[in-house]
Amino acid sequence: MAERGIRTACSPRAKRAPPASAPPRAIAGFTLHGARRKSDPRLPARGSKIRPFTKSPRDFAPAVAGSDARKLPFPPPVADLCIRTYPHTPLREYNSWRKIHVRPEKLLLFHAILTVTVGFSRQSPLHFPKRATMKLANFFRAALVIGTLFAGLTQSAQASIYTYTGDTTGGPTYNRPLEDLSDVSGIGTDVNYSTFTFTVDTSGEYSFLQTTDQYDGVLYIYENSFNPADPLTNALGGSDDLVAPWTSGFAGPLDAGISYVLVTTSFYNGDAGAFSVTISGPGLVTVSAVPEPSTYLMLALGLAAIGYTQRRKLQR
Domain boundaries, the chain: 21-74, 75-292
Strands 217-223 and 235-239: antiparallel
Q: For residues 183 and 173, give the distance between their C-alpha atoms in angstroms, rounded to a whole number.
A: 17
Q: For residues 314 and 310, give the distance between their C-alpha atoms in angstroms, rounded to a whole number.
A: 6
Q: For residues 211 and 224, give the distance between their C-alpha atoms in angstroms, rounded to a whole number.
A: 24
pLDDT at residue 164, as a whole number: 93
Summarised one tens digit per residue, pLDDT across range 36-60 is: 333 444 444 444 443 433 333 333 3
Gyration radius (Cα) of the chain, Å: 23
Query: Going edge to edge, which strands form the sheet with 260-266?
Result: 235-239, 217-223, 260-266, 194-200, 285-287
Summarised one tens digit per residue, pLDDT across range 82-118 is: 444 444 434 343 444 443 444 444 444 554 454 444 4
Q: Which residues contact 90 (CB under 8 A, 6 or more apart)?
A: 236
Q: Which of 31-45, 223-237, 284-298 has the lowest mean pLDDT?
A: 31-45
Per the document, the length of the chain is 316
Whether this prediction's pTM lies above 0.75 is answered by no
**For residue 63, which phi and psi values (nearest 5 degrees)?**
-135, 165
CATH class of 75-292: mainly beta
CA angle 23, 27, 29 (to 5 degrees): 105
